[in-house]
Structure 1
Amino acid sequence: MNLRYGLNPHQRPATAIPVDPHRRPFRVRHGEPSYVNVLDAAGAWQLVREAAAALGRPAAASFKHVSPAGAAVAGGIDEVTAATYRLDRASISSVTSAYVRARDADPKSSYGDFVAVSEPVDAELADLLSRVVSDGIVAPGYEPGVVATLSRKKSGRFLILEADPTFVPPPTETREVYGLRLTQPRDPVELNRDLLAGHGLPDSAVDDLLLGLVVVKHTQSNSVAYLRDGMTLGIGAGQQSRVDCTRLAGAKVDTWWLRRHPALRPPAPGARIQDVIDRQMSLAEPAEWRRRLDGVAFVSDGALPFPDNVEHAARHGVRYVAEPGGSLRSDDVAAACARLGVTLVHTGVRLFQH
């Protein structure tokens, strides 16, 4: 597959060559992909495919710069999301609900995203995508007429990829960096509810933590995710300090929650989506409103090295934490969880992505 260019426009020519010449993970239905498009499509498709299999519901992801800005499984949408994206809460399709819940986690970061959904794209989702700023989509199929609708987006430059849901990747992964060829087994870990068993967690918390594990597995390390009701509220990616990830993602949670303050809803009828998203939050008591958020789950791709991660997370309504465990201060982290009323799960599985 010839690509428009590499990571930057001056890096030409660029290509993507299937490891198996007889099988490829997706085919181009419309447009011309770039190097970054291929990376985003591959990462996003793996995330939604794994999330849908683990949770038994359609899944969606909004990818930017090789990490998800948001991810979710299908479910109900609240009045803020419905008004922002001009959707009917009573009749929204499952695949549309999954994507809009994923995008609404961090709509500022999702501006110009690459979309992935685990189910075929229907007309409702195509209509939504025609009204938001995004660069492309990967999905296992498209209902009649949808490709034609989406191909008009971005003056015909919107990229449409169709994933092969039966594709099985090779057992080893190889990359070349600065004259070195690095090879490793593909990550074989299966993320399922068994990793979270034995802690007396409610089913909703198990689902949120499981989704979080899938999300951080496909997010640039260091990474953490806050989740509630089957969707991310904030993702922190690629920071050198884990607590910086925790604080960055926590700020996104605050923004998501403040948008639901009664003084800021519903959005004005007919307002542009991005105008709604960018409204200034000038509240008299934002701290008091933040304290009302509860039942949030928190997942880390690596061991929490200090209790400060838990202390910061608890300020954003976190009541459940899943992390590998095994750090030098794991006992201190556990003590902080006990003090703050947070249930801690050690999965024993690190999920670094670089």
Structure 2
Amino acid sequence: MKRRALMSVSNKQGITEFAKGLIENDYEIISTGGTLKALQQQGISVIPVNEVTGFPEILDGRVKTLHPFIHGGLLAKRENELHRQELDKYNITPIDMVVVNLYPFKETLNKQTASKEDIIENIDIGGPSMLRAAAKNYQSVTVIVDPNDYEDVLQGVKGGEVTLEKRQQLAAKVFQHTASYDALITQYFTKGIGEAFPKSYTMTYEKVQTLRYGENPHQAAAFYQQPISEAGSLASSKQLHGKELSYNNIQDANAALEILAEYDEPAAVAVKHMNPCGIGVADNLSNAFQQAYEADSTSIFGGIVACNQVIDEATAEKMSNIFLEIVIAPGFTEEALEILTKKKNIRLLELEVRAEKPALEHKYTSVKGGMLIQTIDNKRITASDLHVVTNRKPSEDEVNQLIFAWKAVKHVKSNAIVLAKDNRTVGIGAGQMNRIGAAKIAIEQAAEQAAGAVMASDAFFPMPDTVEAAAKAGITAIIQPGGSKRDQDSVDVCNEHGIAMVYTSIRHFKH
């Protein structure tokens, strides 16, 4: 008796050639809908599914393969005598191979013009059922969800049989695929009802590349992306030059993009070990990069720079004078590319970057045995949100610098202190166990530039020692959340030294 393969595919890549190869190796094909027509148009002999089930497709094709003659043929254990007897009793023919890929739900979601009805109709029911049934019975059934597997399977068929090991690999791929498919549907419905933290949280990602190693050479790693395209994400970038990104490159590049999203004016952000080492804004990109470079000309060496304007010749000339791992920008002029591509080891990424609008998004942090999930810290402030708590009010220029510094300190590991002056950071203290420690690092880094600078603190001052250090360094204005039991002690020190202080009532811890 001939072996039987069931085919029902949305992606018809290579299906004709595969079907012909199976027929040449003593298979008969049963099929449905568009796949049936596509095969028949190529002169391939195909048995319609309704001839197998004795029942027509109904409900606009919503029901066609959900039938015991299909699922009995898929799920029967060939070595089980009772199963064989029941197949004979009900005249069910075993199905030895299933070739199915699903309605394009992800592709429909990615279409800007897709209606709700379009999305719902592209939720496949029969396809996942057949795939799961065949994968569950992989010891007897070969199941294919990926057209890239056609050639390997056909070689196995020509050799007499697809090996058990290969069938198990294909079954694993099926369950990965259907789990991802269901996760996307789950996310769509959960988002539709506005539920931020459902009882069960399901995510899915698609592999972009296997990385050479993780944070350190002894760690394995891979890079995954969300299936639904998101403008401005690193996964959607186009690499124009340089070798593959490493794990640490991707981490740092993502941090740079998150910081860059804070700024509307021409801006350049330099990042090292996921902390900014220099941020500059100006009237043009060349000057903005110069600002970022001068913020910390030592730490930027070997760092990552992200810009929100097209890299022009002048900016590229400045960049070429130092060693940078990565440059990210919305584009590069021909002159800029000619300059930067002369540097063999630099990676150039083209990516749409823009100031982010606040949105309900999530941040994930894995912990042993679980995961922490929180909404993104995308709270922004304006001058009207500031509450002056000192005798002296900040000047207009100080307010602008305070807001600039506040945007920066949000992206520095806590405890965090940022000093800013003339639209650039001049001192950054990151990741310290106490606030005065972070302040001392920022002030020491700024050196003589601290005089006349402003200070931003990601959280309140538990004691007045940080303000005392700021006064000694010549800092003129401070921005902080407020909220300490000893707030007044810090306010008193500010008043004593003529420093303006404002509260935001927003904290920006970053762990």
| TM-score normalised per structure 1 | 0.77
- 1:160 paired residue number: 348
Deviation at 1:220, TM superposition (A): 0.9
**Which of the numbers 325, 330, 337 marks the counterpart of 2:482?**
325
Moved more, 242-251 or 17-26: 17-26
Deviation at 1:140, TM superposition (A): 1.8
Shift of the 20–175 alpha-carbon distance from structure 1 to 2, 3 Å rule, reads: farther
**Which of the numbers 251, 259, 282 marks the counterpart of 1:47?**
259
The residue type paired with residue 309 of structure 2 is E
- 1:33 paired residue number: 245
Q: Is the Cα contact below 8 Å between 1:138 and 1:162 reproduced in 2?
A: yes
- 1:235 paired residue number: 428
Deviation at 1:38, TM superposition (A): 1.3
Q: What whole-Å deviation, never above 9, does each CA across 1:104-138 have from its counterpart, x for those lacking one? A: 11212222111111111111111111111221111
Q: Does 1:352 pair with 2:509?
A: yes
Shift of the 294–250 alpha-carbon distance from structure 1 to 2, 3 Å rule, reads: closer
**Which of the numbers 15, 35, 38 marks the counterpart of 2:222?**
15
Q: Which structure has the larger Rg?
A: 2
Deviation at 1:251, TM superposition (A): 0.5
Q: How does 1:44-193 map to 2 (within 5 A)?
A: 44-51=256-263, 53=264, 57-74=265-282, 94-153=284-343, 156-165=344-353, 171-193=361-383
Q: Is the Cα contact below 8 Å between 1:253 and 1:316 reproduced in 2?
A: no
The residue type paired with residue 63 of structure 1 is V
Whole-Å separation in 2 of the counterparts to 1:23 and 1:4: 25
Whole-Å separation in 1 of the counterparts to 2:323 and 2:502: 38
3-state SS of paired residue (1:50): coil
Q: How does 1:266-281 map to 2 (within 5 A)?
A: none
Whole-Å separation in 2 of the counterparts to 1:343 and 1:112: 37
Deviation at 1:8, TM superposition (A): 1.3
Shift of the 4–206 alpha-carbon distance from structure 1 to 2, 3 Å rule, reads: farther
The residue type paired with residue 18 of structure 1 is Q
Deviation at 1:304, TM superposition (A): 1.0
5+ residue gaps, structure 1: 76-93, 258-292
Q: Is the Cα contact below 8 Å between 1:61 and 1:103 reproduced in 2?
A: no
3-state SS of paired residue (2:401): helix
Q: CA RMSD in A?
A: 2.0
Whole-Å separation in 2 of the counterparts to 1:163 and 1:315: 43
Q: Does 1:300 pair with 2:490?
A: no
5+ residue gaps, structure 2: 1-207
The residue type paired with residue 417 of structure 2 is V
Q: Is the Cα contact below 8 Å between 2:312 and 2:335 reproduced in 1?
A: no
Deviation at 1:148, TM superposition (A): 4.1
Q: Is the Cα contact below 8 Å between 1:304 and 1:325 reproduced in 2?
A: yes
Q: Is the Cα contact below 8 Å between 2:394 and 2:501 reproduced in 1?
A: no
The residue type paired with residue 38 of structure 1 is I
- 1:245 paired residue number: 438
3-state SS of paired residue (1:328): coil
Whole-Å separation in 2 of the counterparts to 1:147 and 1:210: 34
Moved more, 33-42 or 299-308: 33-42
3-state SS of paired residue (1:5): coil
**Which of the numbers 477, 488, 500 marks the counterpart of 1:343?**
500
Shift of the 192–43 alpha-carbon distance from structure 1 to 2, 3 Å rule, reads: farther
- 2:386 paired residue number: 196
Identify which of structures 1 and 2 has the higher relative contact order when contacts are C-alpha pairs closer than 8 Å and 6+ apart. Answer: 1
Q: What whole-Å deviation, never above 9, does each CA across 1:213-244 have from its counterpart, x for those lacking one? A: 11011111111111111111101001111100
Deviation at 1:162, TM superposition (A): 2.1
3-state SS of paired residue (2:418): strand
3-state SS of paired residue (2:334): coil
Q: Compare the two structures and name the one with the higher helix fraction.
A: 2
Deviation at 1:197, TM superposition (A): 6.1
Deviation at 1:36, TM superposition (A): 1.4
3-state SS of paired residue (1:161): strand
Whole-Å separation in 1 of the counterparts to 2:382 and 2:252: 24
- 2:102 paired residue number: none
Provide the identity percentage. Answer: 32
Matched residue count: 293
Whole-Å separation in 2 of the counterparts to 1:9 and 1:325: 43
Moved over 4 A (4+): 166-170
Q: Does 1:219 pair with 2:412?
A: yes
Q: What whole-Å deviation, never above 9, does each CA across 1:150-173 have from its counterpart, x for those lacking one? A: 2332xx221112222368887112
Moved more, 328-337 or 24-33: 24-33
Deviation at 1:101, TM superposition (A): 0.9
- 2:17 paired residue number: none
Deviation at 1:60, TM superposition (A): 1.2
3-state SS of paired residue (1:332): helix
3-state SS of paired residue (1:136): strand
